[in-house]
């Protein structure tokens, strides 16, 4: 127990504290921006980010991952807030948490097994593009000072780590934010700052129960939103956990993460915050700044609140150009550049899945749609590919009365037509043997194809023997097959 606490909390104290401060600084303008997207007061996003980060530090399944209010979730809430107001959003946030906890107990994290590597790569690339696109409003119709500050910020971020000794101790994004703020204040530059994003809250969050009627009508209003928020939140969290696993070469408990996200969202809803989930950009800032354990996530949440309440006079002076530089670094670091090189090496189907996932996410700004389309495409390509792995050879005995068909491979909905097409029903032999000892039947479409083959041969006057079914195939054929039933022909022809 003590060893686990040491490993998960105190094995990287300096790196975690410093990275937590960087993440907190980067969270503030994002939380305000996401509040504006959702159509709520900036404090709703800031309180949510504080609460979710602190709770998930204890309850989450992926140490070092940052969860807070996110753009993907904010987009889904906008119409609920517009039509019904903030109280219904808080109620929807509580229900989102309950649905996510239920998903954890139902072990829905297992569904991540169906998300192929090409979908994850497409998801990551799309997010990198969206993160970059989100910075463009800060870089359009502005003075040259903004471009100069952003360029200087990128130079500090990428150049500072090469400075001997000190470059390895302090995270370069933190140096970028501090130094550009000092320059902007000293020179009195008239550029956009964090203070221009919206008013920062000046009080601690308080416990709030949503002021909505507890009836079926309220449930009917919030459930569609809560279901969508729960799905998108878990998807983004599971994907981000997978990416952080890769970056740190450590495993994570996705099932615990599902439940942890649910608990964190319930906490956010009760403190007047909106629903959130894992943030890929902030998680990458955390890892790249040296954060590894739960302490980095806790530090980010606590520092966020301290900075908003105590250091607000300093915070409002941070130039947006400094944070834009940090987020551009995130988008460059997030994008899988090797996937472009791999377009030449990888199969066409893999490339189509990856590019389509990117296109759908960027076009709709909805991560769930992109992942869903990617998974469906990957499944179709896989089914098509496996469907080709079916080979049927036949041989006839010396006196020409008995033909044996040997089926090798997988028989299911994609290959059933090929299976049926391999038989010569008009040949006129007396006996047909269908040897399935090297085949596997997967679904009722395959069973239906076998039924049709047997019945067609019998109609032509041949005696048919089906041999060699393995145990799993025999079970499905016995259960759903009709070729051995007395009224097989009527059942087959009547049922179609």
**Burial state string for 163-182 with b = 16 or more CB within 10 A and e = fewer than 16:** eeeeeeebbbbbbbbbebbe
Domain that holds residue 294: 8-378
Print pLDDT tens along the chain (496 aa).
677 677 667 777 888 888 888 888 778 777 776 777 777 777 788 888 888 999 998 888 788 888 888 877 777 787 788 788 788 888 899 999 999 998 888 887 777 677 777 887 887 788 788 878 878 888 888 888 889 889 999 998 888 888 887 777 777 777 888 888 899 888 888 888 877 766 667 777 778 787 777 788 888 888 888 888 888 788 888 878 888 888 888 878 888 888 899 999 998 888 888 888 888 878 888 888 778 888 888 998 898 888 888 877 777 788 888 878 877 887 787 788 888 888 888 888 888 988 998 999 888 877 778 888 888 888 888 888 877 788 888 888 877 788 888 989 888 888 888 888 888 888 777 888 888 888 888 888 888 888 888 888 888 888 888 888 888 888 888 888 776 666 655 555 554 4
395 and 355 within one domain: no
401 and 489 within one domain: yes
- Answer yes or no: are the C-beta atoms of 49 and 301 closer than 8 Å: yes
211 and 103 within one domain: yes
CA distance 211 to 401: 82
394 and 350 within one domain: no
364 and 448 within one domain: no
- Structural domain includes residue 354: yes
What kind and span of H or E run contains 394?
Answer: strand 390-396
473 and 346 within one domain: no
CATH number for the domain harbouring residue 445: 3.30.750.24
DSSP states of 442-494 as a string? -SHHHHHHHHHHHHHHHHTT-EEEEE---HHHHHHHHHH--TTSTTHHHHHHH
CA distance 76 to 149: 33
190 and 107 within one domain: yes
Question: Closest Cα partner for 410 from 379, 443, 434, 432?
Answer: 443
Number of separate domains in the chain: 2
Helices 172-187, 320-334: inter-axial angle, 10-degree rounding: 160
pLDDT at res. 77: 80
179 and 207 within one domain: yes
Query: 472: exposed, middle or buried (C-beta count within 10 Å: 0-12, 13-18, 19+)?
Result: exposed
- Structural domain includes residue 63: yes
DSSP helix/strand/coil, 324: helix
- Structural domain includes residue 1: no
pLDDT at res. 491: 54
């Amino acid at each position: 127990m003590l060893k686990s606490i040491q490993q998960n909390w105190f094995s990287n104290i300096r790196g975690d504290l410093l990275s937590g401060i960087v993440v907190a600084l980067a969270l503030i303008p994002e939380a305000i921006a996401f509040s504006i997207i959702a159509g709520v007061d900036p404090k709703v996003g800031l309180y949510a980010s504080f609460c979710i980060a602190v709770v998930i530090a204890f309850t989450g399944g992926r140490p070092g991952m940052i969860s807070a209010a996110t753009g993907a979730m904010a987009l889904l809430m906008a119409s609920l807030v517009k039509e019904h107001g903030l109280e219904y959003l808080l109620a929807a946030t509580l229900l989102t948490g309950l649905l996510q906890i239920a998903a954890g107990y139902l072990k829905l994290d297992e569904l991540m097994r169906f998300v192929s590597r090409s979908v994850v790569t497409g998801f990551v690339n799309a997010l990198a593009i969206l993160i970059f696109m989100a910075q463009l409003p800060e870089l359009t119709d502005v003075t040259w000072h903004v471009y100069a500050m952003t360029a200087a910020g990128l130079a500090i971020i990428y150049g500072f780590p090469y400075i001997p000794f000190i470059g390895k101790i302090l995270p370069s994004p933190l140096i970028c934010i501090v130094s550009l703020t000092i320059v902007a204040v000293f020179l009195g530059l008239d550029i956009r700052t964090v203070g221009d994003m919206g008013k920062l809250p000046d009080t601690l969050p308080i416990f709030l129960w949503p002021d909505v009627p507890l009836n079926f009508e309220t449930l009917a209003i919030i459930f569609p939103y809560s279901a969508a928020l729960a799905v998108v939140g878990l998807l983004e969290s599971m994907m981000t956990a997978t990416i952080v696993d890769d970056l740190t070469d450590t495993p994570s408990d996705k099932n615990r993460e599902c439940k942890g996200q649910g608990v964190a969202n319930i906490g956010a809803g009760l403190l007047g915050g909106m629903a959130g989930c894992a943030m890929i950009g902030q998680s990458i800032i955390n890892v790249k700044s040296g954060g590894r354990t739960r302490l980095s996530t806790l530090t980010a949440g606590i520092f966020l609140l301290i900075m908003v309440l105590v250091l607000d006079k300093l915070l409002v002076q941070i130039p947006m150009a400094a944070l834009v530089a940090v987020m551009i670094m995130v988008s460059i670091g997030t994008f899988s550049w090797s996937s472009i090189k791999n377009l030449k090496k990888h199969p066409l189907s893999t490339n189509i899945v990856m590019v389509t996932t990117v296109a759908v996410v960027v076009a709709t700004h909805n991560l769930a749609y992109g992942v869903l389309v990617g998974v469906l495409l990957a499944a179709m390509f896989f089914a098509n590919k496996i469907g080709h792995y079916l080979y049927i050879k036949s041989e006839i005995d010396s006196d020409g009365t008995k033909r044996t068909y040997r089926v090798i491979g997988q028989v299911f909905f994609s290959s059933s037509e090929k299976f049926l097409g391999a038989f010569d029903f008009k040949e006129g032999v007396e006996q047909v043997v269908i040897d399935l000892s090297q085949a596997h039947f997967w679904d009722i479409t395959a069973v239906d194809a076998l039924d049709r083959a047997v019945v067609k041969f019998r109609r032509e006057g041949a005696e048919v023997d089906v041999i060699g079914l393995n145990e799993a195939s025999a079970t499905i054929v016995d259960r759903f097959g009709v070729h051995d039933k007395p009224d097989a022909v009527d059942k087959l022809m009547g049922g179609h």
